[in-house]
Structure 1
Amino acid sequence: MKRVALMFPGQGSQAIGMGKVFYENYPEIKELFQEADRTLDFSLSTLMFEGPNETLTLTENAQPALLLSSIAVHTLLIKEEIQPVMAVGHSLGEYSALVAAGALSLEDALPLVAARGRLMEEAYPAGKGAMAAVLGMKQEEIEAAIEGMDSDEIVDIANLNCPGQIVISGTKAGIEQASTVLKEKGAKRVLPLNVSGPFHSRLMKPANEAFAKKLDEVAITEASIPVYANVTAAPVTDDSEIKELLLKQLYSPVRFEESIRNMIEEGVDAFVEVGNGKVLSGLVKKISRRTPTFAIQDQESMDAFISWYREES
């Protein structure tokens, strides 16, 4: 049996029309979406299929939308008797991975991530925080440049995505200042990201107390497969450890590259991006060209993966 690792995308991968093809073609997915609408007490499915884009992009909407579209695809993979051996999610995607691993129910996870989105928005004043992707520099070089800045502004490393692509997060002034310094120190480019806040930086810590209360209200159980945690890049299945790591995840860097490398060491025949977009597949190709990657977001891409999975190795 082939060893498949599932990857679940995070915020930024949302798009109008996400999940619609599966909703229209599979009664069980239609039911899943309708159940989600009832759980959230508003029509998330209509927002996903019709927009408007500025409403879908709001953190409190994008997060449950991405979770739902990922779990829809995962549901169809399980129906096809495809059993992953491990999973990873990028930021919000970690919740999708935990639902797929049976550690969280979808019914609990949808309102939880909507609340997470709201709290992240409220943690720091709108327009005062920023994030930027730094291309062509190593982690140590970025850290040294940030530490050498003569400033009281906050700048943290937020995402360690792949070789040569690291995201920084902090105050707007801090990110602007860091961008200039990093270009002087040899960064190929520093690209501002279209986000609403300084996610995965210590500026998110104010959200933690309220989010801890939300987490206390949901049941977290042992995961059926290892989920590689953003905070540690290590596999986790224990329920209490999962909870502790989800709290730290809000203000800690997403160690995606390290997670993928650790998963490859455990033996993976393919990485499969489950949900919307191809962002994570693109990152994996930059980390390891040897491991096949698939991104499932429509019937054609699903059929291609299933066909590969069933081939005799």
Structure 2
Amino acid sequence: MAKIGLLFPGQGAQYVGMGQDLARRYPKARALFAEADAALGFPLSELCFTGPEEELTLTANTQPAVLATSIACWEILKDYGVKPAVTAGLSLGEYSAHVSAGTLDFAEAVRLVRKRGEFMESAVPSGQGTMAAVLGLSREEVEEVCRAAAGMGVVEPANYNCPGQIVIAGETAAVTAAAELALARGAKKVIPLKVSGPFHSRLLAPAGERLAGELARVSLSDPDLPVVANVTAQYVRDKEEVKDLLVKQVSHPVLWEDSVQRMLADGVDTFIEVGPGRALSGFVKKIDRRARCLQVGDLSSLQNTLAELEGVG
């Protein structure tokens, strides 16, 4: 019997048209998008289905859009009897993971990540902070490069995605200096990311403080299944821990590689990426190429995954 871990994507996975074929085919998906529209007071579903892309990619829109699409995919999968042992999500995806685990109400989560997006976008003035993916260096080398560039301003590791891919974030000049040092150290490539701020760096601490105020008003339940937290790569089983971890997550690095290793060590052999995109499956394969990676983001991938799961029993 497969031991399943659910993986939920973060910001950057969005695309115009996501969720549309599932909403046409499944009343439950349609109802979830309608619930998200009502929770926000504007037609988020239209943004997901038809764009425009420049509106969808605004952080405050992307975050609820990716969450709504991910949970629509999960609810359909759940109706087919898929039973995960554990769940995790990258950055924004951690909220989807908590919805899937029953910690957080869906409509509440949609409103919360909309606010989270607004707070993250406004924490650092436009152009003053950025992020870049460093390819081909170890985590120790990336950490050293960030320390060496600190004279130019704040720069630090933001996402430990997988071996050889670490994202750095901080003040624009410092990130540029760290990128040059990384290339000099032998990095294969440094890719600037199209983001509106230096997410998961200490520059986002003000956004975390504002988010704490929103989270204080939200009612949580103990998770029905273990959720791996981004900032610790450990399981969360108690609702009392959740709010503090979600606040910290905004301004602390995402330990994604460690999170996947945690699940692998506990016998997870099948990962299902639930929601738009396939980036997380790519990371898992680089962490352990023996892991089975499936994905559910549209009708076709849903059918393929259900067929695969039937085959593994």
* Interval containing the TM-score (normalised by the shorter chain): over 0.9
Deviation readout 1:181-237 (Å, 9 max, x if unpaired): 111111111110010100000000011221111001111110011111000011111
**How far apart, in 2, do the equivalents of 1:190 and 1:244 lie?**
32
Contact 2:152 2:173 (C-alpha < 8 Å) held by counterparts: no
Aligned residues: 313
Off by >6 Å, runs of 4+ in structure 1: none
> Match for residue 12 of structure 1?
12
> Match for residue 259 of structure 1?
259
**How far apart, in 2, do the equivalents of 1:149 and 1:81 lie?**
50
Deviation readout 1:50-97 (Å, 9 max, x if unpaired): 111111000000000000000001101111111111011000000000
Deviation readout 1:235-294 (Å, 9 max, x if unpaired): 111101111100100001010011101101111131000010101011111111101101
Cα–Cα, structure 1 residues 312 and 70, in superposed 2: closer, same or farther, change >3 Å?
closer
SS of the equivalent of 1:5 reads strand
SS of the equivalent of 2:280 reads helix
> Match for residue 89 of structure 1?
89
Contact 2:9 2:92 (C-alpha < 8 Å) held by counterparts: yes
Q: Is 1:303 paired with 2:303?
A: yes
> Match for residue 238 of structure 1?
238
Cα–Cα, structure 1 residues 39 and 149, in superposed 2: closer, same or farther, change >3 Å?
closer
Cα–Cα, structure 1 residues 266 and 150, in superposed 2: closer, same or farther, change >3 Å?
closer
**How far apart, in 2, do the equivalents of 1:256 and 1:151 lie?**
28
Give aligned-pair identity as a percent.
47
> Match for residue 141 of structure 1?
141
The TM-score with structure 2 as length reference comes to 0.98
**How far apart, in 2, do the equivalents of 1:23 and 1:71 lie?**
12
Contact 2:87 2:228 (C-alpha < 8 Å) held by counterparts: yes
Structure 2 runs not aligned, ≥5 long: none
User: Displacement of 1:300 after TM fit?
Assistant: 2.1
Q: CA RMSD in A?
A: 1.0
Counterpart AA for 1:151? G
User: Displacement of 1:2 after TM fit?
Assistant: 2.2
Aligned runs of 1:283-298 on 2, under 5 Å?
283-298=283-298
> Match for residue 197 of structure 2?
197
Aligned runs of 1:164-183 on 2, under 5 Å?
164-183=164-183
Counterpart AA for 1:286? K
Counterpart AA for 1:161? N
SS of the equivalent of 1:166 reads strand
**How far apart, in 1, do the equivalents of 2:149 and 2:126 lie?**
24
Deviates most, 91-100 or 25-34: 25-34
**How far apart, in 1, do the equivalents of 2:246 and 2:311 lie?**
37
Counterpart AA for 2:33? F
SS of the equivalent of 1:273 reads strand
> Match for residue 112 of structure 2?
112
Contact 2:149 2:155 (C-alpha < 8 Å) held by counterparts: no
**How far apart, in 1, do the equivalents of 2:249 and 2:8 lie?**
15
User: Displacement of 1:150 after TM fit?
Assistant: 6.1
Structure 1 runs not aligned, ≥5 long: none
Q: Is 1:273 paired with 2:273?
A: yes
The TM-score with structure 1 as length reference comes to 0.98
**How far apart, in 1, do the equivalents of 2:307 and 2:48 lie?**
29
> Match for residue 52 of structure 1?
52
> Match for residue 100 of structure 1?
100
